[in-house]
């Protein structure tokens, strides 16, 4: 009599801590996008991530911290881009233009995350996101400070002026994203760059087309 072959046990795949954390972030972004941040639960996230609820707390305290981590990833990507642009050592205004354009493009590419953070996040999550924003702001303000010393940026307080430009551009994007209409990247870029050139006192304003 022929013996029945014993089925082989499926080999268990053991993921690294980094991979498990990434699974939670990916699942959270999907759940927040479909369910909404306010209504999403930890159970929703862990189910989507294919893990037990207890595993969540090995990586995050609350869903606020998850949203903060998603924003930190978003900011970190632009922080790296900012460092690359600054390292090129181009002239002051071309560098400023590239920084602002890349910032706007990055934000538009991540419009859904902006909608989540500024449209549905609570105070705790927003505070965590603000902490991430400060990293990029401080890096670019250092560049603006050096440019002011070199005479490229001219305003009563160049660093404060740039902070206002940054927040104004961020607010504009959030309003446009919340409106749901298609975003005209070229028009947004031109509007923000014109504001920057005027506010920071570009000495060659006319030749810059503003």
Segment 66-98, tens digit of pLDDT? 988 998 898 899 999 999 999 999 999 999 999
One domain for residues 120 and 194: yes
pLDDT of residue 14: 67
- CA 111 to chain CA centroid, nearest Å: 9
Are residues 131 and 69 in contact, defined by beta-carbon separation less than 8 angstroms?
no
One domain for residues 21 and 68: no
One domain for residues 118 and 22: no
State how far the Cα of 22 lies from the Cα of 116, in Å rounded to an integer: 19
Read off the CATH number of the domain in which 52 is found: 1.10.10.60
Q: Across residues 155-162, what is the average pLDDT?
A: 95
pLDDT of residue 13: 59
Q: For residue range 25-67, what is the model confidence (pLDDT) as tens digits?
A: 999 999 998 998 889 999 999 999 999 888 999 999 999 899 8
Q: Two tokens at 35?
A: 């369910």
Band (pLDDT 50/70/90 cuts) for residue 197 is very high
Residue 205 lies in a domain: no
Are residues 137 and 152 in contact, defined by beta-carbon separation less than 8 angstroms?
no
Q: Two tokens at 131?
A: 């902490």
Are residues 77 and 135 in contact, defined by beta-carbon separation less than 8 angstroms?
no
pLDDT of residue 140: 95
One domain for residues 107 and 42: no
One domain for residues 27 and 67: no
Q: Is 201 helix (H, G, I), strand (E, B) or coil?
A: coil
- Mean pLDDT, the chain, integer: 88
Residue 9 lies in a domain: no
Q: Is 152 helix (H, G, I), strand (E, B) or coil?
A: coil
Q: For residue range 97-135, what is the model confidence (pLDDT) as tens digits?
A: 999 999 999 999 988 888 887 777 677 777 777 777 888
Read off the CATH number of the domain in which 132 is found: 1.10.357.10
Structural domains of the chain, count: 2
Range from 43-47, 68-72, 153-157, 164-168 carrying the lowest mean pLDDT: 68-72
Q: Which domain holds residue 94?
A: 63-199
Are residues 145 and 159 in contact, defined by beta-carbon separation less than 8 angstroms?
yes
């Amino acid at each position: 009599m022929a013996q029945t072959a014993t089925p082989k046990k499926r080999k268990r795949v053991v993921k690294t801590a980094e991979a498990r954390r990434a699974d939670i972030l990916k699942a959270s972004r999907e759940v927040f996008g479909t369910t909404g941040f306010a209504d999403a639960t930890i159970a929703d996230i862990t189910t989507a991530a294919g893990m037990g609820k207890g595993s969540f707390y090995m990586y995050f305290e609350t869903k606020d911290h998850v949203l903060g981590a998603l924003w930190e990833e978003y900011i970190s990507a632009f922080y790296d881009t900012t460092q690359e642009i600054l390292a090129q050592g181009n002239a002051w205004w071309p560098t400023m233009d590239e920084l602002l354009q890349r910032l706007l493009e990055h934000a538009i590419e991540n419009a859904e995350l902006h909608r989540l953070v500024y449209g549905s996040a609570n105070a705790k999550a927003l505070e965590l996101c603000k902490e991430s924003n400060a990293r990029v702001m401080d890096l670019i303000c250092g560049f603006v400070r050096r440019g002011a010393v070199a005479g490229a940026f001219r305003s009563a307080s160049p660093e404060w002026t740039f902070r206002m430009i940054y927040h104004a551009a961020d607010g504009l994007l959030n309003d446009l994203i919340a409106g749901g209409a298609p975003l005209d990247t070229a028009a947004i870029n031109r509007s923000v760059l014109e504001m920057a050139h005027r506010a920071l006192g570009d000495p060659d304003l006319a030749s810059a087309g503003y």
